[in-house]
Chains A and B, each alone.
Chain A
Amino acid sequence: MSQAAVISHAAYAEHAEALGFWRKYVFSTDHKTIGKQYLGISLFMAIAGGFTAYAIRWQLAWPAAGIPGLGAITPHAYNSLVTMHGSIMVFWVAMPMLLGAFGNFCIPLMLGADDMAFPRLNMLSVWIFFTSALVLLASFVAPGGAAASGWTAYTPLSDTWTSAVWGQTMWLFAVALEFASFLIGGINFLTTAFTRRCAGMTLWRMPLLVWDEIAASVLFLLSVGPLVAGAVMLLMDRLLGTGFYDPSKGGDPLLWEHLFWFFGHPEVYVVALPGFGIMLEIMPVFARKPIFGYRTIIYSTIVAVGLSLIVWAHHMFVSGMDPRLATPFSVTTILISVPFAIIVFAMIATLWGGSLIFDTPMLFVIGGLASFIVGGVTGIFLGSAASDIYLHGTYFVVAHFHYTLFPVTFFGGYAGIYYWYPKMFGRMMDERLGKLHFWLTFVFFQATFIPLFLAGIGGTPRRVFMPSAYPSFASLQPLQVMATVATIGLIASQIPLVVNFFSSMFRGALAGRNPWRANTLEWTVDSPPPHGNFPDPPVARRWPYDYSVPGAASDWLPQVAETNPPAGIKVQRAS
């Protein structure tokens, strides 16, 4: 790093000392504080999302009983709950947790930078995001209730036909703000990764989490534009009387479906890639072994990003689009199993020959991987256009996407929390509570969604107020009850996390710089790192996964280590 950078860095650190409470903890430009703010908001929104899950599940199991804590609900309110559950969990939990929190916290630290490329823009992104969450939550008490046309907001239901007149408009504003926030964040991630890497940090020495965060950001930037345009057109239809989606005015509802899913499917990967990044980052540390096939994983990720842009119509096989389009989209969809299979195989191969330490972060990584595989293989059934005719719109779809998104968001996110908590707060989380949290979450997660696969194979449609109202599916009602009991268990399983998270801030053992004996750069500085991160600009002398190198003094060689093999800024190649 240049002399000027060092000087400005010193000035920055000095400046940080003078910051008052508000600038330090609330309106902060420090990427670490912003990461924690994203984490806090996402965990708070997860409580809201969890509550909607509980209310939905209770209604499905015991429709006549009335929901404890909420009372009896109308079918319209049920649709609102379903809509808000999906929206909250994808846009206000998964994205802020996996991109906002871990992207912001880890990228500059892992790259040896003092902050993001645009710290002020970063602060803007988190405050826009905060505003979007407020708008969304406020819509619960809007006249007519919250949006009720599904998180996919298919027109014309979300247009002239919804009774949630205010709620639907607020939903659109909230989503638009959320997109703006993550657009700004994504630009920041990319710029940081390409301009703020420390000396020696070549692209091929970047940790996989950074690769996955920037791959997700690129994908988000590529896919979100059409949907923002689509959302503006929907707002105009709702507020100004235009007819982009209204057939009586020459519009077409299928236009919305295309625009939505052109974004909506890549969005799954925007969330999944950072979740994988966290798992890929943590696994070698607790296997004491290099990640298997670093570059194979990166190339597979790039292929997955490319393919994910040409699969969207698999959500629309039976939508009324030209049926001749189905098979091409079916082929690309099923083909995306290849890069993901390779990444999964690489993770399994990383375990082979390791010296596995089952601390809480590792348990969540392995549990997340094992669960994600279920989501992966069930995706083939839906990617095949023929079998999708039967399974589309059933509980099979619900179980499938929960098996993909829950492992990356929660298993991946929790692994990240347990792993980086010492760096964020300077203290260790409690291992016993952590393990309890893992096992309860793992078991109740499976118990929630396995019955829903069966309900879906039986044909039960999703998004219904009362599955028992269908004579043909009445015999499948016990599956709904099982899933509900397990959901309540799953939510209760999060109590150890809450206790652990807050009590460890004060009572946890002091972490020191590198409690996990990990190689990446964030572990070379104090926990928590000071404003400006690195007292002296670091130099990366090797890739991040030199674990158990034969002949080395310890079973880990940090990226800054000069010994064996000697320093050099050439790409490290395998022997």
Chain B
Amino acid sequence: MLMSWLPQNVSTFGTDIDSTLRLIIFIVGPWFILAEGLILYFAIRYRKRPGKPAVHVRGETFRQAAWVLIPGVIVMLLDFSIDNASGRAWDEAKIESPAPALNVQVTAERFAWIFTYPGHTGAFDGKGTYWSMGKLYVPVNQVVRLNMRSMDVIHSFAVPNLRMRQDIVPGRTITAWFEATRPGNYGIQCTELCGFDHYKMQGTLVVLSADDFAKWRQKHWPSAPAIAINSDAEGANK
């Protein structure tokens, strides 16, 4: 039910992030209902009634305290199962970085996103670079690596459909990656308060099919280095 509020997932690691969310709902949901249900039930069942005094139970002996300690231990074991799933999904999204088919430099500057595509040599400052304001064009089913830097304050690059978010700290180059699985246009937002027009700092991720990407490249970025794109799909990213 809650999951239906999520925007469509279009990334590879997004599937595992969504299953982590689903697992947590599955684990905490019953505890939540149990706790709230007991509060409601006890509030009705044990309301003050004439001739019905309260019982004197201190819960200080181990036998009695076990009623709260054993559920506590179960909570701890369930916590570890969440840690396990969460840890794997995190590693996939943030630590294991597959070899990219395309490198793009992301420059965050109050209040805009600039995406720079490398020149002949593969460098971002050499001849033949192409830059795009606010629109990030990528091919579908290819690993894209982002080299992100900020010119001023901390920004955060977020694409909800990719289940992706990464802060960009001035003074550092931070890398991130994703592989989009479905062509379409998806919103990019800055999600770290960066000043008065923070809310205007938006962009669009344009995921193109292999053919469309080739056409786009022909037209806008003819200088694309051979090494940057492996257009015969599947090869580079697996």
Contacts and interface: CB of A to CB of B under 8 A. Distances in A.
Contact of B189 (A341, A346, A374, A461): A461
B191 A545 contact: no
Contacts of B32: 373-374, 377
B43 A389 contact: no
Contacts of B21: 381, 387, 390
B170 A156 contact: yes
Interface string A263-278: 0000000000000000
Interface in A335-350: 335, 337-339, 341-342, 344-346, 348-350
Given A330-B86, A384-B20, A157 B43 contact: no
A183 B214 CA distance: 64
Best-surrounded residue of A291, A324, A472 (most CB of chain B within 10 A):
A472
Interface in A367-425: 369-370, 373-374, 377, 380-381, 384-387, 389-390, 392-394
A253 B171 contact: yes
Contacts of A216: none
Given A393-B165, A458-B7, A149 B198 contact: no
A366 B195 contact: no
A352 B43 CA distance: 8
Contacts of A57: none
B170 to A, nearest CB: 5
B75 A341 contact: yes
Given A154-B154, A292-B58, A386-B20, A338 B76 contact: yes
B163 to A, nearest CB: 5
A555 B54 CA distance: 9
Interface in B165-217: 165-172, 174, 186-187, 189-200, 202
Nearest to A77: B196
Contacts of B75: 337-338, 341
Interface string B77-95: 0010011011111110111
Interface string A139-177: 000000000111000101100011100000000000000
A386 B68 contact: no
A373 B35 contact: yes
A287 B42 CA distance: 11
B61 A342 contact: no
A327 B152 CA distance: 29
B35 A344 contact: yes
Nearest to B110: A161
A296 interface: yes
Contacts of B198: 75, 79, 463-465
A283 to B, nearest CB: 11
Nearest to B156: A393
Contacts of A68: none
A458 B5 contact: yes
Contacts of A465: 198-199
A575 B63 CA distance: 11
Contact of A75 (B36, B79, B196): B196
B39 interface: yes
A293 interface: yes
Given A326-B90, A373-B32, A550-B56, A459 B71 contact: no
B161 to A, nearest CB: 8
Contacts of A473: 187
Contacts of A547: 54, 56
Interface string B45-56: 011110011111
Best-surrounded residue of B31, B90, B95, B197 (most CB of chain A within 10 A):
B90
Contacts of B193: 79, 82, 149-150, 154, 157, 463
B56 A74 contact: no
Contacts of A163: 195-196
B43 to A, nearest CB: 6
A527 to B, nearest CB: 24
A46 to B, nearest CB: 24
Contacts of B167: 318-320
B236 interface: no
A526 interface: no
A345 B31 contact: no
A208 interface: no
A335 B82 CA distance: 10
B38 interface: yes
Interface string A455-474: 00111011111110111110
B195 to A, nearest CB: 6
Nearest to B4: A457
A375 B160 CA distance: 23
Contact of B59 (A247, A349, A469, A550): A349
Given A355-B53, A574-B60, A389 B17 contact: yes
Nearest to A250: B171
A257 B167 CA distance: 12
A292 B197 CA distance: 52
B195 A293 contact: no
B18 to A, nearest CB: 8
A353 B46 contact: yes
Contacts of A156: 152-154, 170
B74 to A, nearest CB: 9
A394 B165 CA distance: 11
Interface in A65-90: 74-76, 79, 82
Nearest to B32: A377
A9 interface: no
Given A161-B153, A384-B82, A393 B48 contact: no
B95 A296 contact: no
B68 A548 contact: no
B228 interface: no
A370 B24 contact: no
Contact of B86 (A76, A338, A357, A387): A387
Given A356-B47, A466-B199, A548-B56, A384 B169 contact: no
A205 interface: no
B28 interface: yes
Contact of A320 (B24, B91, B166, B199): B166
14 contacts: A75-B196, A149-B193, A163-B195, A320-B168, A339-B72, A342-B69, A348-B35, A349-B59, A353-B55, A355-B52, A356-B46, A369-B39, A459-B6, A545-B58
Interface of A: 74-76, 79, 82, 148-150, 154, 156-157, 161-163, 247-248, 251-254, 287-296, 317-320, 323-324, 326-327, 330-331, 334-335, 337-339, 341-342, 344-346, 348-358, 366, 369-370, 373-374, 377, 380-381, 384-387, 389-390, 392-394, 454, 457-459, 461-467, 469-473, 545, 547-550, 555, 573-575
Given A290-B59, A345-B68, A352-B46, 19 more contacts: A75-B197, A251-B171, A254-B169, A288-B48, A293-B60, A317-B90, A320-B167, A327-B87, A327-B90, A351-B38, A352-B42, A355-B46, A356-B46, A377-B32, A380-B28, A386-B17, A386-B86, A389-B17, A393-B191
Q: Which 3 A-B pairs have the closest CB atoms?
A: A247-B171, A574-B60, A459-B160
Interface of B: 2, 5-7, 16-17, 20-21, 24, 27-28, 31-32, 35-36, 38-39, 42-43, 46-49, 52-61, 64-65, 67-69, 71-72, 75-76, 79, 82-83, 85-91, 93-95, 110, 152-154, 156, 158, 160, 163-172, 174, 186-187, 189-200, 202
